[in-house]
Amino acid sequence: MKKVGIFGTHGTGKTTLCCALAAYYKHRGSNVKIIQETVRECPFPINLSMSADAGLWVYHAHIKKELDALVQDFQLCLCDRTALDSLVYVYAQDVGNRYTKIAEQNALQWMETYDMLIYVTMSESHAVEADGVRPADVDFQKRVQDAFDMYVEQLPESVTSKMKCVCADDIFGEFQFPPAIQKVDSFLYAATSCAGV
């Protein structure tokens, strides 16, 4: 199974891209699994009210979903978020503790397990929209992206070599999905050498 992690700040089109990629690869005959964003299931407050407990709950719940997918017979697993994402939000909100720091180190190592990483960044031409879960607060969105940028700089070359940056414009732009799919497809094919995906 090839595993792709899609990460970045909220409101940039990660879920949209994940669904578009799943449809694209299913159309090509691949058996695809989507691991949906876990934060929407979190029993603790999130966003601007996020706590260390919320970050740890989301982190562990996400890891469990990825492990569950390992024992299923899928060719491609598309992860809407990665193990690191919730801990980046904890950092951005400055609510971490010693337990989140331990989880953070584990999550940074877990990034090695992805065959490809797609870092989706925000765009000035596409404003974040409130969706009933995430707030339409651009300052919050930008603060989280800045935190992601900091963590990406810490990743070793063994991880960044598997990473492709995609802007929200590539997902929500005039041509909709093709620019983002083309970028991801060519990179995924080259990075994994898996013609069957």
Q: What is the pLDDT of residue 191?
A: 46
Domain range enclosing 83: 2-192
CATH number of the structural domain spanning residue 61:
3.40.50.300
How many domains does one find in the chain?
1
- What 8-state DSSP symbol labels residue 12? S
Mind listing the pLDDT tens digit for each residue in 5-54?
Answer: 999 999 999 999 999 899 889 988 889 999 999 999 999 999 999 999 99
- Tell me the mean pLDDT in the region 174-187: 65
Return the closest-CA partner of residue 11 out of 122, 92, 173, 165: 122
Report residue 173 as tokens. 């732009």
Six-digit token string for 99: 């337990």
pLDDT tens-digit readout, 64-107: 999 999 999 899 999 999 999 999 999 999 999 999 999 999 99
In a domain, residue 153? The reply is yes
Q: Which residue has the higher pLDDT, 7 or 123?
A: 7
- 2 closest CA partner among 59, 77, 61, 91: 77
Does the pTM exceed 0.85? yes
Residue range 127-159, pLDDT digits in tens: 788 888 888 899 999 999 999 999 999 999 999
Is residue 197 a part of any domain in this protein? no
pLDDT of residue 192: 45
